[in-house]
A and B are shown apart, each in its own frame.
Chain A
Amino acid sequence: MNSNKFFSFSRFYLLLRNDILLNRQKYLLTIAGAFIFGFVFLYMQMPKVERLDNQIPAFNGSRYVSVFALFLIGLGWFIATSFSELGDKVKTSNYLLMPASTFEKFLSQFVIRVVIGTSLLLVIFWADAHLARTVALSQIEGPNHEPASANVSKYIAEFHYSMFLVKHTNNNEPTYWRLAEGMALISFIFSIGMYLFSKKLFHKKNGFGKSRIISIVIIFSILFLMPDSNWFSEFNSFISNNIERQLQNGYTNIDIWRFSIAYFAPLFLIPFGYFKLKEKQL
């Protein structure tokens, strides 16, 4: 056994192995469930009849994005099962007594739920999108049940992740996300993920109610922080008329403020979660 009290690769490997051995059935079912759900949902959304008057592609990036959003909710649920042992006194005791450092325990959950979970989500969605498109295209036919035209392969856009670089606004005119904006969105999604990841560590008493309240606050914060959101239109128009100033880089001072919150939120959530685990008591 390595004497390093903070991190040892051998201990970390054993901890990951332990988690996978104990939960392998649950993980396999989750992967299979996500794959089947993704395929069925995408396939059902894809057109089965070629309508030549429709714009091509009829099933474009924005349609993929809406299904991907459901996948992200599923990932959020999976991440929220982190530290599941801490919901029960007996399991908490077993978990805290496992011979590994707090950092190794925290990191192992992060690697399995966030890193591997997100990677698998991306792979599964990619595979689902391609499989659903292949199956849908093989079955597609004309409006009067005639064979589809030779151009049918363009009818459902081929999925690739660079589609997500295009921002779909209310006026349906595709524009590319600006770098800081896109990074802020990713950072926000990461913040939500980090909150879900460590929520079992934050709330010992009345955890259910507290996590619901904080979830609502986070959702409203996101809506508020989204520049194109109509949810806080009056407030946003007050801001834009009175406080907002255009900067030279194309952003406004409010954008910078919003991005700063988005970037820094995970920096607080991660260490806070770690120290909550370190000080966890029965």
Chain B
Amino acid sequence: MIHIKNLSFHYKKNTPLFQDFSLDVDNGRIVGLLGKNGAGKSTLLNLIAGLSQPKEGSMEVNGFTPFDRNPNFLADIYMVPEEFSFPSISISCYVKAFSPLYPQFDQKKLNGILTEFELQLSSNLNKLSHGQRKKFLIAFALSSNCKMLVFDEPTNGLDIPSKSMFRKILVSSVTDEQLVIISTHQVKDIDTIIDKVLVIDNGTMIYQENIDAISQKLYFDTVTTLAGVDNVFYHEQCPMGYKIIIPATNGNESNIDLELLFNAIINKSF
């Protein structure tokens, strides 16, 4: 659970990144955190994980103030960063060193995920490719069973089968007790697994909506021409004509095109 109220944060005094920022998210969700480069996504993740201290406002994650770095808070949050570095040891040694620090760690779950990702426990972490190391971190994060899982660009560096494997494993292993936040630019990689969308721009939350609510409000379609189409919120040209967002009517639902939605939000189309 995340509860942020009137948060302010800046790196340089005269250039605030977040001002009067508020956010509430309950557990049992997979949340997609979207935004342009420099919008403040990674900073928000750092604040949530307790790696940075808010200048003003209150912040509570799983009942703790993150920057206190209470060990019980840290034992229940796992962050998969965009960039990572490992010591030159085997996967099994890494697991032996770190897994006891996470009380809910599930070794069987890890073995299962590693098998699906085709990773060997005996492999040296520094001899694996970037994508393989990222798969290991994802496997470790999911096996930690932490209440809060934070993924920063989790699909960067993954090949196509691994991306679909990531989606499958994530959906099957996350419980209602957990909250998963995925920050990414690769919106297509996560559009089928998230159940809430957050969009931030210049340190401001410009959009937050559940996927169900979006489906009920908006209809995503592709048309050959815009002629005769009323109430178009947003459109983009594509090889087949136009991708459009229009109001959902008569209970009609469509697959959400997250990229189109993101562009519409950034262009302030609604």
* Chain A interface (Cβ < 8 Å from any Cβ of B): 1, 3, 5, 8, 11, 14-15, 17-18, 21-23, 88, 90-91, 93-94, 96-102, 104, 278-279, 281-282
A-chain residues with CB within 8 Å of residue B23 when the two chains form the complex: none
Provide the B77-97 mask, 1 if CB < 8 A to any CB of A, else 0: 111010111010100010011
**B87–A18 CB distance below 8 A:** no
* Chain B interface (Cβ < 8 Å from any Cβ of A): 46, 49-53, 68-72, 74-75, 77-79, 81, 83-85, 87, 89, 93, 96-98, 100-103
> What CA separation (Å) do A91 and B72 show in the bound complex?
21
B-chain residues with CB within 8 Å of residue A282 when the two chains form the complex: 46, 51-52
> What CA separation (Å) do A22 and B68 show in the bound complex?
26
Some 28 contacts from A to B, beta carbons below 8 A apart, are: A1-B71, A1-B75, A3-B72, A5-B68, A5-B70, A5-B72, A11-B71, A11-B101, A18-B97, A21-B89, A21-B96, A22-B93, A90-B81, A90-B83, A93-B46, A93-B79, A96-B50, A96-B51, A96-B69, A97-B74, A98-B74, A99-B74, A99-B101, A100-B71, A101-B70, A102-B69, A281-B51, A282-B51
**A93–B97 CB distance below 8 A:** no
A-chain residues with CB within 8 Å of residue B50 when the two chains form the complex: 96-97
**A21–B97 CB distance below 8 A:** yes
A-chain residues with CB within 8 Å of residue B78 when the two chains form the complex: 97
Could you tell me the distance in whole angstroms from the C-beta of A247 to the nearest C-beta in chain B? 49
Could you tell me the distance in whole angstroms from the C-beta of A279 to the nearest C-beta in chain B? 8
> What CA separation (Å) do A5 and B70 show in the bound complex?
6
With A21-B96, A281-B51 given, can you name 16 additional A-B contacts, CB distance below 8 Å?
A1-B72, A11-B71, A21-B89, A22-B89, A22-B93, A90-B84, A93-B81, A94-B81, A96-B50, A97-B50, A100-B101, A101-B70, A104-B71, A278-B69, A282-B46, A282-B52
Q: Which of A91, A99, A104, A281 contacts B52 (CB 8 A)?
A: A281
B-chain residues with CB within 8 Å of residue A104 when the two chains form the complex: 71
**A22–B87 CB distance below 8 A:** yes
A-chain residues with CB within 8 Å of residue B84 when the two chains form the complex: 90, 94
Q: Which of B75, B89, B101 has the most CB of A within 10 A?
A: B101
A-chain residues with CB within 8 Å of residue B85 when the two chains form the complex: 88, 90-91, 94
Residue of A nearest to B75 (CB): A99
